[in-house]
Amino acid sequence: MTISISRLFVLFSLVIFSAHSVSAEVNVYSARKEALIKPILDDFSNQTGIKVNLITGDADALISRIKSEGQFSPADVLISADVGRLVRAKQLGITQANADEVIITNVPAYLRDEELHWTALTLRARPIMYAKDRVDPASLSTMQALTNKEWKNRICIRSSNNIYNQSMISGMIQTQGEAKTLDWAKGLVANFARTPKGGDRDQIKAVVAGECDVAIANTYYLAGMLNADDEATRKTAQQVAVFWPDQDTIGTHVNISGVSIAKYASNLDAAKTLIRFMLTDEAQVWYAETNHEYPVKAGIKWSQTLQDMGTFKAQEVSLAKVGETNAKALMLMDKAGWR
């Protein structure tokens, strides 16, 4: 059995820190729901002796709270489910650089801030989902093709105020420029089956209900439905399949759940130790198996649900740039009539 040098470094850091700081604590502001983050934080506390004080809430609200608290903010760590929020936090001056070798070694450059103010913890893909009984996957190809007349009144997607859609459009701006992205957005809007409403799960349900034939949604949501305790939810999800667009060119758009250290973190060592822990094999496996998100570390096995959706080529656009063009993406969507 072999253990990588980076893995040994993380384990050594956890052991040394816990040995000297049994009474330490770390304050985490998380935009992720408690059920999706607390179990792994509890494991961290059990292994290190570091107490985690968790505050959950809306991402924008948490960011505004840290900003208003200023130098008196108790926040040590900010966790968000979208790169746009992490970039915004950096722009507001409420985060600090964390040039940890564990991050540099384990997280691809396009999935972390150039100045290391934030890093991805997991990946979330946003492909096309289609009704198995009404759509031949051979009729699908690229995101661009969804603007073709054959998809008139057949597409469901969330509104333009959704951060996942804004980041997807930002990624398009990076890969094909504003003019082509605007044309695409106008063509997509023309093919909407209904006025955008609801979350990603609602788009999936709308496909099954026959309101539309295809939807754009994160695999994370479909996976959650496929593994739900409720049988009716599982049966709904089983009627939808995933198609990976743009595999011969730029790849499918991906986003992240990620983390930053707060500018005025008073428990800095504990914050850094927590982030190292979140990038261990153990934590990455937990994310993949329990939350059905794609690990950022190479070599970590995906959950069976994700494996069943198939492998795919991910779009390797700098997510820092995606976050920086968020406002531009929103204005472009407005011009396209995307409400």
- Are residues 48 and 156 part of one domain? no
Q: Are 265 and 328 members of one domain?
A: no
User: Is pLDDT above 90 for 10?
Assistant: no
User: Domain of 45: which CATH number?
Assistant: 3.40.190.10
Q: Give the dihedral of Cα atoms 225, 228, 233, 237; nearest 10 deg.
A: 30
Q: Which is more confident, 32 or 131? A: 131
For residues 154 and 188, membership in a common domain is answered with yes
**pLDDT 10s digits, 176-230:** 999 999 999 999 999 999 999 999 999 999 999 999 999 999 999 999 999 999 9
pLDDT in tens, 33-57: 898 899 999 999 999 999 999 999 9
DSSP string, 175-225: HHHHHHHHHHHHHHHHTBSS---S-HHHHHHHHHHTS-SEEE--HHHHHHH
Together in a domain, 195 and 326: yes
Q: Evaluate whether residue 310 is within a structural domain.
A: no
pLDDT of residue 1: 39
Share of the chain above pLDDT 70, in %: 93
Q: Is the same domain home to 219 and 328?
A: yes
Pairwise CA distance, residues 206 & 227, whole Å: 19
Quick: pLDDT tens for 235-264.
999 999 999 999 999 999 999 999 999 999
Residues 89 and 46 in one domain: yes
Are residue 217 and residue 272 in the same domain, yes or no? no
CA distance 320 to 214: 29
Helix, strand, or coil (residue 113): coil
What whole-number distance in Å separates Cα of residue 251 and Cα of residue 235?
Answer: 29
Q: Report pLDDT digits (tens) over 47-88.
A: 999 999 999 999 999 999 999 999 999 999 999 989 999 999
Write down the pLDDT at residue 3: 44
- Max CA pair span of the chain: 65
Q: CA 53 → CA 72, 75, 122, 124, 174, distances in Å?
A: 16, 10, 22, 26, 38
Asked whether the beta carbons of 284 and 119 are under 8 A apart, the reply is: no
In this prediction, residue 337 carries a pLDDT of: 98
Is pLDDT above 60 for 12?
Answer: no
Residue 13 pLDDT: 53
For residue 172, what are the domain limits?
125-253+317-336
Pair 119, 133 in one domain: no
Tell me the average pLDDT of the chain: 93
Known binding positions for Fe cation? 220-221
Among the listed residues 271, 206, 283, the one whose alpha carbon sits nearest the alpha carbon of residue 237: 206
9: pLDDT strictly greater than 70: no
Same domain, 31 and 68: yes
Q: How far apart are CA 94 and CA 88, in angstroms?
A: 9
Q: Does residue 96 lie in a domain region?
A: yes
Residues 142 and 109 in one domain: no
DSSP state of 252: B
| Residue 80 and residue 177 in one domain | no
One domain, residues 174 and 218? yes
Question: What's the confidence (pLDDT) of residue 22?
Answer: 45
Amino acid at 218: N
Alpha helix (H) residue ranges in the chain: 5-20, 38-48, 59-69, 83-91, 101-106, 163-190, 200-209, 219-226, 231-237, 268-278, 281-286, 304-309, 319-324, 326-335
Taking the CA atoms of residue 263, residue 269, residue 271 and residue 274 in that order, the dihedral angle to the nearest 10 degrees is: 160
Q: Which residues contact residue 212 at a Cβ distance below 8 angstroms, ignoring those fewer than 6 apart?
A: 153, 154, 155, 156, 193, 194, 203, 206
CA distances from 31 to 17, 47, 256 (A): 26, 24, 13
Q: Is position 18 within any domain?
A: no
- For the chain, the residue count is 339
pLDDT higher than 80, residue 18 = no
CA angle centred on 305, ends 304 and 306, rounded to 5°: 90
Burial of 149 per CB tally in 10 Å (0-12, 13-18, 19+): exposed
16 band by pLDDT with thresholds 50, 70 and 90: very low
Does the pLDDT of residue 277 top 70, yes or no?
Answer: yes
Q: Are 288 and 295 in contact (CB under 8 A)?
A: yes
Residue 217 placed within a domain: yes
Averaged pLDDT for residues 305-319: 96
Structural domain contains residue 11? no
**Does residue 1 form part of some domain?**
no
Instruction: Please check whether residue 147 lies inside any domain of the structure.
Output: yes
Residue 284: inside a domain: yes
Which residues are paired to 55 by β-bridges?
29
**Given this model, what pLDDT does residue 35 score?**
86
The total domain count for the chain is 2
Bind-site residues:
220-221
Task: Give the model's confidence band at 20: pLDDT under 50 very low, under 70 low, under 90 confident, else very high.
Answer: very low
pLDDT at res. 14: 56
